Amino acid sequence: MMKTKEIYHLLQNFAKRLGDEDLTVSFALCRGEWYVSVSCHSSEYLKFDHDGEQRSAIIRETESETNVKKILSELVDKYSEHIIN
């Protein structure tokens, strides 16, 4: 079982890999689907290319048994495509 401290470090490392430790990152659940959400509202210098402050990526049901570290690692590249200084 993953402890809260482990989740904290996973999300902290994910934000660092995206380029700013002050990004707001979270796991979210909405209508039975899981998401990884990133918000730039707390960043002093990063923003999304679509002028919004938040983007979310759905974790597909087929990935429900996939290691969270692997999912976050793959999402770094996808989110990085849309984050600008």
Bridge-based pairing state of the strands 33-39 and 54-59: antiparallel
Report the distance separating Cα 78 and Cα 82, nearest Å. 7
User: Contacts from 69-75 at CB under 8 Å and sequence distance 24+?
Assistant: 69/10, 71/36, 72/10, 72/13, 72/14, 72/36, 75/14, 75/36
pLDDT at 10: 93
* 80 neighbors 18 (Cβ within 8 angstroms): yes
pLDDT at 60: 85
pLDDT at 16: 95
pLDDT at 5: 94
Low-confidence ranges of the chain (pLDDT < 70): none
pLDDT at 24: 94
| H/E run at residue 11 | helix 4-18
pLDDT at 61: 81
